[in-house]
Chain A
Amino acid sequence: MTTLDHSGHPSTPAHGGHHDEPYYTGKGGVWPTIVDWASTVDHKKLGVMYLTAILVLFFLGGVAALAVRTELLEPVTTVTTITASGQAVTRTEGQLFNPGKVDPVTGEVSYPADLGNNYYNRLFTMHGAIMVFMVIVPGIPASLGNFFLPLMLGAKDVAFPRLNLLSWYVYTLGSLFGVLAIAYHGVDTGWTFYTPYSTTTDAGHWRVVYMILAAFTLGFSSILTGLNFVVTVHKLRAPGMGWFDMPLFCWAIYATAIIQVLATPVIGITLLLLVFERVFRVGIFDPGLGGDPVLYQHFFWFYSHPVVYVMILPGMGVISDVIAVHSRKPIFGYRAIAFASLGIAGVAFIVWGHHMFASMSEMASVVFSALTFLVAIPTAVKIFNWIATMYKGSIAMTTPMIYALIFLFLFAIGGLTGLPLATLNTDLHLHDSYFVVAHFHYVMFGGTIVALLAGLHHWWPKMFGKMYNQKAANIGALLVFVGFNVTFFTQFFLGTQGMPRRYASYPAEFQIYHVISTYGSYILGIGFMWHLLVFIYSLAAGPKAKDNPWGGLTLEWVAASPPTEHNFDHEPIVTHGPYDYDTQVPPKWDPKDWPLPDPAKVAAAHRH
């Protein structure tokens, strides 16, 4: 390897002591290692800690989801029978989770339907709140973003490493608030905390306040992380890396961070007012005191709609990188994809009204409906560019690439089913139905979680220095793909036929769809456990990963697998674009791994 120092003299890398060891090397003993991790300002360790926490919470949220699906296997029916002694006995059937109540006089335990239904409300709220606030929003930026943004920029760390550690602890604190609310039997407000329900339900209990504080605290962590990333992108790009030499993942993280910084404060004040409302009854959202519950919805969605793009933009960044690397072709329309990220970030702020078409004037609804359609433009720009990138590429069907293809398939369905929801007259029929549930699961899960899986499989060798068994991982991908579609495609039918969301029971004719959907969710669950086993096996006994197993051109592949504590032996100088496959040979490339297409041929194909 030829390296030049500033004076132009060849020099050898300064190898010394701990600089060569992987970033996660222990510090001699269990306690020193724990203290080292708990006080680390290393973006890589923080990324791994976020990833672990997010996966644990994903498991919790997933268990809640499976419980919700299992409860929906049978409709809830109440049957009254006359016993031999002439007594009327009412029994509830079709409920799996009913805590029951004890009659204080007779000591008999009865299971009235509303107890079980309340339990169901708590389950789906737990699923929604965990998945949105603790898993999907921080998911890709905090884990993969933390780990790879500095590496891809050629930096040693994020701009404010200690702030990064602080935001990790704030995230942990927020998650603990959430877990506390669950430990106190959970909340039943739905993850959106709509007033006046969220201000009146469970009066006398603090668990709703805990859950609101959890969302507030997690928002704080989100702001700090976003701020850190914006400054990192502005200030810590390696010499030679202009804005348009950044990998598209960095562009996506940058756009995400801007939304995080600009939207989250609004939910901050909203949730704070909600706590004031609940604790002091200040009345801002209470119609009885002159307040306005719809004001809450405006405040809430002014944040929570942009945050939908906080959830999906990093996923789009992952897909941009994965598709370019595994198609071994320059990405088609680099600038279009980069500006589409910013475009989505911009449009994100002016569409919140489509969450409350029913509670606005017709004129406002029409305007918000029209604005909502704008989102489709930059999104479609991205999708078409990805497909054009694959066209005549040398596609390697690796696990990350398979997940990228799954993303394209599912996200296209998710995006297109958004259009009937943005259209006022069809939305009148579809709103608050299972159609909406299926739509946003196709976007959130089929988009973000699938992109997280693509990114995880893409960067796993770099993060942990171990390869995983690709054949086994592909089986997992198949299970997830089939399970997901069986679970959620069915729900489109349920929604169009009129099944409302969030109901614990349903008319008997819907049962067949619910049963199919539930079995699909079990396949999905098995798929995730399968992936977990593949990853655990990779950590325990996987073969050592090469520095550049996929032949990527971006800077993270210059670093060792796993990277050392300071990422690079020397500060890298960037001399080419991130996807110049037609002119560049990937760093640390081993022709035995995969044959490199002839750059001349690639260039020719690209021109035609």
Chain B
Amino acid sequence: MTTLDAHTPDAHGPGHDVIDPSRPMYQQYKHAHHFRTAADEFDACKTGLWLFLATEVLLFAGLFCAYTYFRYRFPAAFSAGSGYLDWRWGGLNTIVLLVSSYTAASAVRNAQLNQQARLKLNLLITILCGLAFIGIKFALEYGPKWAQGKRPGSLYCYPFAHEPNEPMWWSVYYCATGVHALHVVIGAGLLTWCLVRCKNQHYGPTHYTMVENSALYWHLVDLIWIFLFPLLYLIH
């Protein structure tokens, strides 16, 4: 025999045991059977999510490349284009996302400290901030601009353009912020799922992987906006 075998605990995944409703759910969580310890599982989940965040950065890298390339090709159109955007709405949205990042980070801390009520409150505020961001984006920015004819590419029909290549600016603007907005919606969805599961004290000091990972994802969404905001609104 070429290997020594070590006995492992009997193989059972989560969900095999009877759940005791009188005890908090997080205390009854059993890690999946193919991990040696719960800490291993937590580490693996975090590694996985960091890798996923890397893929998200690379996804947006394509958009940033497109932005750089077209800004280099049509500097006047891009300068005129950012002039159409109101930095105050963009700034407000930046503040909204920064606040939500703070509450998301606090939610993780609340889970670690078993502050169940604050955990729910912080998750709720984060989700509401996400919705506020989407609301501002669509009702106050996309809506009026679309109505004026400031649309991407061939859909463009704004009659008072300063520069002939402004449609390209709007293409980049809508693609970049649109894909970002989609990520805000997905992030808010993940956090909503956390909030729903909070009702049985699903998360606590010994088990908060989902809260932590959703918050990490939310920070990434925030971070991408931190780059998009100056590139689109502030640089002239």
Chain A residues engaging chain B, CB cutoff 8 angstroms: 1-6, 11, 13-14, 150, 155-157, 159-161, 163, 223, 227-228, 230-231, 234-236, 239, 261-266, 268-270, 272-273, 276-277, 280-284, 286, 289-292, 295, 299, 553, 555, 558, 566, 568-576, 584-587
* B168, chain A: closest CB distance, angstroms: 4
Q: Contacts of A283 on B, CB cut-off 8 Å? A: 152-154, 167-168, 171
Of all A-B residue pairs in the complex, the 3 with the closest CB atoms, nearest first, are A283-B153, A269-B62, A5-B7
Which of A161, A281, A286, A575 is close to B4, meaning CB atoms less than 8 Å apart? A575
B86 proximal to A (CB < 8 A): no
Contacts of A292 in B (CB 8 A): 69, 73
Q: Per a CB cutoff under 8 Å, which of B6, B62, B152, B167 touches A299?
A: B62
Instruction: Given A3-B4, A11-B7, A269-B63, check contact A280 B153 (CB 8 Å).
Output: yes
Query: When chains A and B are docked, how far (Å) is the Cα of A549 from the Cα of B139?
Result: 68
Give me 14 A-to-B residue pairs in the complex whose CB atoms sit less than 8 angstroms apart, sorted by A's number.
A1-B1, A230-B51, A235-B35, A264-B55, A265-B55, A266-B62, A269-B61, A282-B171, A283-B153, A284-B172, A284-B175, A289-B168, A290-B165, A573-B4
Contact A3 B5 (CB under 8 A): yes
Q: Which residues of A contact B74 (CB under 8 A)?
A: 290
> Which B residues lie within 8 Å of A284 (CB)?
66, 70, 153, 168, 171-172, 175
Stretch at the interface among B40-48, B125-133, B215-223: B40-48
A587 near B3 with CB under 8 A, answer yes
B156–chain A nearest beta-carbon distance, Å: 9
Most chain B Cβ neighbours within 10 Å, of A5, A289, A587: A289
Contact A273 B54 (CB under 8 A): no
The answer to whether A573 touches B6, judged by C-beta atoms less than 8 angstroms apart, is yes
* Chain A residues in 8 Å Cβ range of B63: 269
Residues on B with beta carbons closer than 8 Å to the beta carbon of A282: 152-155, 171, 174-175
Contact B58 A6 (CB under 8 A): no
A11 to B7 CA separation, bound complex (whole angstroms): 8
B1 touches A235 (CB 8 A): no
Asked if A227 meets B3 with Cβ closer than 8 Å, knowing A156-B34, A269-B60, A282-B153, the reply is no
A467 to chain B, nearest CB (A): 23
- Contact partners of B7 in chain A: CB under 8 A: 3, 5-6, 11, 14, 570-571
B11 in the interface, Cβ–Cβ < 8 Å? yes
Residue B141, interface by CB 8 Å? no
Extra contacts, 12 of them, besides A276-B175, A282-B171, A571-B8 (Cβ < 8 A), are: A4-B4, A14-B7, A159-B34, A163-B48, A228-B48, A236-B35, A266-B59, A273-B62, A283-B152, A283-B171, A284-B171, A555-B3
* Closest chain B residue to A295, Cβ basis: B69
Asked if B179 lies at the interface with its beta carbon under 8 angstroms from chain A, I say yes
A175 to B45 Cα, complex, angstroms: 28
Interface 0/1 of B22-34, CB less than 8 Å to A: 0000000000111
Of B2, B32, B171, B172, the residue contacting A576 (CB under 8 A) is: B2
Taking a contact as CB atoms under 8 Å apart, the answer to whether B59 and A574 are in contact is no
What is the distance, in angstroms, from B65's C-beta to the closest C-beta of chain A? Answer: 8
Contacting pair A281 B59 (CB below 8 A) = no
Q: Known: A236-B34, A280-B152, A283-B154. Contact between A575 and B3, CB under 8 A?
A: yes
| Pick from A1, A265, A281, A555: contact of B58, CB under 8 Å | A265
Given contacts A269-B62, A289-B153, A584-B2, contact A261 B54 (CB under 8 A): yes
Rounded to whole angstroms, the CA-CA distance of A555 and B4 in the bound complex is 11
- For A586, list chain B residues within 8 Å (CB): 2
- A289 vs B59: C-alpha distance in the bound complex, in angstroms? 24
- Which of B8, B32, B48 is close to A227, meaning CB atoms less than 8 Å apart? B48
